[in-house]
Amino acid sequence: MPHDAEPLAADQPDRYREALSAFVAPVAYHADAVARDPEVIRVAEAVYEAFGDHGADGGLTRGELASLCSKSVNPALFESRFDLFVSMGLVHRYRDKAHQQRYTIDPAGVAALLVYPRLRDANGVEEIIMLLGRTRQDLAAGELSEDELAGRLTHARRALSIVTDYLLRLVHEHPWEDLIRERSQRRSADLLLDEATELITAASARFPGLADSGKRLVGEALRYVGAVREVCDRLLEQASARHDFSMLTPEQYLSAARRGDKDHLAAPLARTVFDPATLVVTPEQVIAAIEEFRPAPPRRRAPRPPDSHTAHDPAEAARQRAARRRATIEAQAELHLQGAGEVDLTSRIRGAGWPGAAAIVVETLAAHANPDIPLRVALSTALVIDPVGRVSHVTPIALSRVPRRPVPGEDSAAADKPAEVSRA
């Protein structure tokens, strides 16, 4: 069940501090490395925004930074944090000189500020998704060896296993209030599964020996999807029992509406009192609307009168017309041939002018297209251009006689006999 991640709410500062503590623990000097007030990170974000918007030309002085940050953080809090930022290297002098009073921000600190929102929004799952996507891109670019790819797959699988175990522990051992706190910390499970599947498909095609590692990674991704569904199912179960859907995210509420039956969905409103419905449209208005928007009645065509000429056969008449047309086309072609087996019609077309030329071309092509007429047309790929002639441009055309197609019941001699040409 996919659901969108939400930012950590303002009423959960302790959870955010716990996440930050775990994040900096690998490099912390002492146990209280993270300030107890999560609002202090807002000072670093304000400094980052000030340098990003105004510090491109020569850095900023301490006074300029204080003025720019005062729009979003308390000035006293800024003053208490600035010297710490300088001593830890988040902010340092623009030039390494004693009298230098202008400062700039370190890119490493900027990178940390980019990571913290993802830590707050997805509790590390976003980093796993990014690792899978970056690995897939590097693999497509040919920048990974088999050993490097195996190491990344193992790294992603271990991280995913730890996150999944944490979720399952919450579902099976913790009260449902903890699940409400964690419901906004999970990125879409389907997105993670898609990334893992695409990566393993590409990795198996490039390095078949990593198929087993890929199966283990996909297995962990499926286990994570199942854990997310268990979290959502338990929240839905508790919400149904308490008739309180405020504990769900909007996406989870939509999933409940799609999957729940009408009795469960109606339960929160079982004790709600509704006013009786009122008629807001009068009968006269309904009738007027019907008259205005009623579709026009379909027009019916009167049936055709019966044909009184019962002896007339339309199909036979059509066949006769086709036969007469075929005879006319064949006669015109025979006039061009004059008893010969082949004739070049180019000169005849050029001398006939445009209307006559079009008629000759149409008639000869019609004879070629009719399989019952033993004549064929050959068109050249050349083009004859005569700007002052009766036909300015023409493609050479040759008309030739071919054996007539045999007709059932007709002997071969009759089939080869040329058609009679009327010279009337």
Each residue's pLDDT tens digit, 59-96: 888 888 888 888 888 888 888 888 888 887 888 787 77
Which tens digit of pLDDT belongs to each residue from 364-378? 888 888 887 888 888
CA-derived radius of gyration, the chain: 44
State the average pLDDT over residues 220-237. Answer: 81
Which tens digit of pLDDT belongs to each residue from 231-276? 777 777 776 666 565 666 666 667 767 777 788 777 777 777 777 7
Could you tell me if 56 and 77 are in contact, meaning their C-beta atoms sit under 8 angstroms apart? no
Tell whether the model's pLDDT for residue 3 goes beyond 70. Answer: no
Could you tell me if 214 and 203 are in contact, meaning their C-beta atoms sit under 8 angstroms apart? yes
Which pLDDT belongs to residue 243?
A: 59
Which pLDDT belongs to residue 320?
A: 86
The ranges assigned to domains in the chain are 39-118, 124-264, 318-416
Question: CATH assignment of 39-118, given 1.10.10.10, 2.40.10.10, 3.90.1150.10, 3.30.70.1400?
Answer: 1.10.10.10
Tell whether the model's pLDDT for residue 175 goes beyond 80. Answer: no
